[in-house]
Amino acid sequence: MNTRSISFRLVAGYAALLTGIFALLCALLYLDLRYFLENDLLKSQERRARQIASALLAHAPQTGEAYVASQVKDWYEPEVNNRFIRITRGDGTVMYLSGAPKDGGFTPADVPRLSLARLRGESARRLKLADGKTLLVAVLRYPLTAQSSYLVEFGVPLAPVQTMLDHLFLQLVWGLPLAVAVITAGGYWLVRRALTPVQHITRAAEQITHHNLSERLPVSHSGDELAQLSVALNRMIARLDDAFQNSKRFVADASHELRTPLTVLRGELENLMEDARLDAEVRERAASLLEEAMHLSRIVEQLFTLSRLDAGEAQTDWARLDLAELARSTAEQMSLLAEDKGIAITCDANQPAPVEGDRVRLKQVVVNLLDNAIKYTPDNGAIQLRVRAVNSHVLMEVEDNGIGIPPAALPHVFDRFFRVDRSRSADSESAGLGLAIVKSICTAHGATVEAQSKPATGSRFRVELPLAKP
């Protein structure tokens, strides 16, 4: 997964935000419930302490302290209900102390005592006992007369509340990863749904090349930012289409207009060289001019060919033909050029390879590939031309043992006017259009062409065309 992608960052941000909110809500829930339970428990003990004071201690002078103690034990049963009750006289002596609770959660005698003189009205105590347990105690100072008063302490262990809180904490801890997973999955689904128009725009943009600049990206009717982006990109593509069409028209017009004067120039130079009155120096200069004129004429012809291919000329004269037979005959013609350098051309095209296309243009592909191999193969080298039918395609390969192509230049060999380096191409007087013509012809025929090469080892050009239907 690409951690720098917009979808990943949106999902991560969405999940982190909701996870933080969920964790905060869980913490608030835990603290609020803890406060509510402890406060409710404390108020319950305060009510019982007031009940003891108002219902029993208020009548202690008449009923006696023993009666008060027996009633407290009968009413509240502190040992059975795991409660702590202690009633202290004003002089600090204990009038009543509950016994040890049934569950043994605490020892009443170990509970620290309060000073009656420092206590006013009601208060609460949160006592941490020696065994680590907590006791929540409501404390009430009840003045019976001006000279006598009692201190009522009514407490209960905090363990049941803490057990409930621990259970809730475990549920939140186990529920948080599940919530994060659900949040992440939901965020991923939402992001994918939101970015679906972007994927449609991307796929449509990848299919637009200089051959179909008239096509446009899909525009949603939502009027949102993505729709505005599509409209802006379509306007940019329209401007590119206009610029590209103007460039193609210029190249086509220029190459067409230059053909006639170049033909006249070549004819005049050829006539001039036939003039016996010229001395050797002038004849040599005329020959150099004629060579440059021929070179310029070849460039103009290649540009004119490219302009016609861009206009769809290669798709007008299609017919069924045998590419293997075409490759064999073309290799025989090119072998004369290869013999000047002592290069042997081996043709392996014995099986029929029917295709549909323009015979002239497909022959131009074979000629350009063989000519390119001859140029960059040293003397006494070897070139192999293979044509065979494979499944639903016809495969043609031209392989040489020449100087090869550097890896950095390999992706650009089919670009127009591209040359690997000036020093390499100076002798061949190449304009960098031969392989560009091959690429344009293959594209017009629905074929693919690719180059494989290793420096100082050789190159292989591979053309794959659709097999002709029966």
114-168 pLDDT, tens digit per residue, is 765 555 556 777 888 777 788 888 888 888 776 678 889 898 888 888 889 899 9
3-state class (DSSP) for residue 282: helix
Res 423: pLDDT: 46
Give the pLDDT confidence of 196-211 residue by residue, as tens digits. Answer: 888 888 888 888 876 6
Q: How far apart are the first and last CA of the chain?
A: 46
Q: Give me the CATH topology for the region 6-164.
A: Beta-Lactamase (3.30.450)
- From residue 57, alpha-carbon distances to 53, 64, 89 in Å are 5, 9, 11
For the domain spanning 225-310, the CATH number is 1.10.287.130
Query: Rounded to whole angstroms, how far apart are CA atoms 413 and 369?
Result: 12
pLDDT-above-70 percentage for the chain: 91
Domain residue spans in the chain? 6-164, 225-310, 317-466
For the domain spanning 317-466, the CATH number is 3.30.565.10
Query: Rounded to whole angstroms, how far apart are CA atoms 148 and 130?
Result: 33
Query: Rounded to whole angstroms, how far apart are CA atoms 87 and 96?
Result: 5
Burial (0-12, 13-18, 19+ Cβ within 10 Å), 184:
middle
Judged by average pLDDT, the poorest of 23-27, 132-136, 193-197, 272-276 is 272-276
